[in-house]
C-alpha cells in the first residue's frame, strides 16, 4: 500500500528550514542540490547551490521532504508551497493512483523515469490539491 508524506517548497531557504526541523525532530536528512541535476534542467547555474530535494525521516515511517523552487517555476507562496507525496509500492500502483487522482485536474509532469532513479510525476487535482506520485525503480 502507498505511503503519504508532506512535501514543502521554499524560496531559497529550504536548507535553513530543514536545519530548524532537524533541531526539533532530530535525525539526519539526505539532500541533493540543483547543480546535481543533468544538463537541460529548468534551474539556472546561479541556482546551483539551492536544494533540489531533501528528506528528513520523522517518527515511524513519515518523511518530511522539500526543495527550493527554481525561478522558472515562479515563487512558492501559501497555497502552492506544499504537495502530498505518495510513494507507491509498484509502477502499476503509481499508474493507477496518478490516473485516478489527476482525472479532471492538470498534469504538471507526467509519470516518467527520472535521473534520480524514480518513476515520478506531478499534478494538481480537480480540487486544487497538489500531488507527487513516485515509485523507486531501485526497489524492483
Task: For 41-79, write each residue's pLDDT tens digit.
Answer: 777 778 889 999 999 998 788 999 999 998 888 888 877
Q: In what order do the strands lie in the sheet with 62-68?
A: 30-33, 51-58, 62-68, 3-10, 82-87, 130-136, 118-124, 106-113
Could you tell me the three cell numbers for 130? 497538489
- pLDDT for the residue numbered 77: 84
Residue with cell 493507477: 96
pLDDT digits (tens, 9 = 90+) for 35-45: 988 877 777 77
Cβ neighbours, 10 Å, residue 21: 18
**Fold category of 3-139 in CATH:** 2,3-Dihydroxybiphenyl 1,2-Dioxygenase; domain 1 (3.10.180)
The length of the chain in residues reads 140
Cell of 1: 500500500
Q: Look at residue 1 and tell me whether its pLDDT is greater than 70.
A: no
pLDDT of 140 reads 57
Tell me the pLDDT tens digit for each residue of 107-130: 999 999 999 999 999 999 887 878
Q: pTM of this prediction?
A: 0.72
In the prediction, which pLDDT does 57 show?
95
Spatial separation of the C-alpha atoms in residues 32 and 1, rounded to whole Å? 27
d(CA 83, CA 77): 12
Q: Compute CA 138 distance to the chain's CA centroid, rounded to the nearest angstrom.
A: 17
Rg (C-alpha) for the chain, rounded Å, is 15
Amino acid at each position: 500500500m502507498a505511503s503519504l508524506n508532506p512535501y514543502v517548497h521554499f524560496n531559497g531557504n529550504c536548507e535553513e528550514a530543514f536545519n530548524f526541523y532537524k533541531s526539533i525532530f532530530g535525525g539526519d536528512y539526505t539532500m541533493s542540490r540543483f547543480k546535481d541535476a543533468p544538463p537541460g534542467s529548468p534551474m539556472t547555474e546561479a541556482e546551483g547551490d539551492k536544494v533540489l530535494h531533501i528528506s528528513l525521516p520523522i517518527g515511524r515511517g513519515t518523511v518530511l521532504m522539500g526543495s527550493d523552487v527554481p525561478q522558472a517555476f515562479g515563487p512558492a507562496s501559501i497555497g502552492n508551497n506544499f504537495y502530498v507525496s505518495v510513494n507507491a509500492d509498484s509502477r502499476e500502483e503509481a499508474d493507477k493512483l496518478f490516473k485516478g487522482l489527476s482525472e479532471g485536474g492538470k498534469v504538471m509532469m507526467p509519470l516518467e523515469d527520472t535521473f534520480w532513479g524514480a518513476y515520478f510525476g506531478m499534478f494538481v487535482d480537480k480540487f486544487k490539491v497538489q500531488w507527487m506520485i513516485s515509485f523507486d525503480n531501485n526497489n524492483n
